[in-house]
Amino acid sequence: MKNNIIVVPAYNEDDILEQNILNLYDYVSSDCDIVISDNNSTDNTAKIGRELAEIPGIEYCFVETKGKGSAVKQAWLYFEGYQRYMFMDADLSADLEYLNAFKKLVESQEDVVIGSRYTEGADVERSLKREIISVSYRTLFHLLFDKSIKDPQCGFKSISKKARDGILPKIKSNGYFFDSELIIRALKEGYSVKEIPVRWKESKKSSLHLIKDSFNILEDMARLKYEMLFDE
């Protein structure tokens, strides 16, 4: 067993999964294990994931509860014994070269390290539509929660075992808000959060359903804001 684990949440990714996991494996296999967390896919993701799991250092797990957050949480909790827990999107939108920066910050004992498309040094290729959505989300996040975090939703994050054990049981979001709730709770609990710039190339494929998922994200935002104001 290695010290680090990377979880790749996957929902109906059979067209890209094999090649992207092999690319990731070539890059990190010396010091990271990889877990394909299948989020109840209905295509051939399960078959491909199980075949890839025959390679030493690659694991496959099936998560019945829908949602990216659920896929990450359950895999992080199931696979014990690691010092550092990471996740990244299956489309590998974030350039793998930036994993080296994550590793350096791991060595410096940062509790939570997050990729950022909006800090100095970042390089982003994405559509105007997605950029407008991102700006709108970040504006709302800053109004409700914290202005210091420039990119709460980048699908490229790393957390120490200590922070995982302290934060993960408190996170209630199973969907796309998982990323933001992780950061908000980390800051509230006093863990250090460090952003690093990434090179990001938008994937043409996305499992985000704009209307449905936007409503769920707003609901999660309202729930967490209420909890922070009145329950804790």
> What does the mean pLDDT of the chain come to?
90
Maximum C-alpha span of the chain: 48
Cβ-Cβ contacts under 8 Å for 88 (sequence gap 6 or more): 6, 8, 24, 94, 155, 156, 157
> For residue range 59-92, what is the model confidence (pLDDT) as tens digits?
999 999 989 999 999 999 999 999 999 999 999 9
- E-assigned strand segments in 103-167: 112-116, 123-125, 156-160
Nearest Cα neighbor of 10 from 74, 103, 57 is: 74
- Going by CATH, does the domain composed of 4-231 fall within 1.10.260.40? no
Query: Which phi and psi angles does 147 have, rounded to 5°?
Result: -90, -10
Q: Give the single-character DSSP code of 9.
A: E
Indicate the pTM of the whole model: 0.91
Nearest Cα neighbor of 78 from 3, 164, 203, 194 is: 164
How many other C-beta atoms lie within 10 A of the C-beta of residue 176? Answer: 21
Q: Strand 156-160 and strand 32-38: pairing?
A: unpaired
SS (H, E, C) 38-83: ECCCCCCHHHHHHHHCCCCCEEEEECCCCCHHHHHHHHHHHCCCCC
Across 29-43, b (16+ Cβ under 10 Å) vs e yields: beebbbbbbbbbbee
Cβ-Cβ contacts under 8 Å for 158 (sequence gap 6 or more): 84, 85, 86, 102, 105, 106, 112, 113, 114
Domain layout of the chain by residue ranges: 4-231
Distance CA 40, CA 136 (A): 30
List the pLDDT tens digit at each of the 232 positions of the chain.
788 999 999 999 999 999 999 999 999 988 899 999 999 999 999 999 999 999 999 999 999 998 999 999 999 999 999 999 999 999 999 888 888 777 776 666 789 999 999 999 898 888 888 888 888 999 999 999 998 999 999 989 999 999 999 999 999 999 989 999 999 999 999 999 999 999 888 876 555 555 667 888 899 999 999 988 886 5
Query: Dihedral of CA 44/50/51/55: which sign?
Result: positive
Nearest Cα neighbor of 221 from 117, 130, 137, 116 is: 137
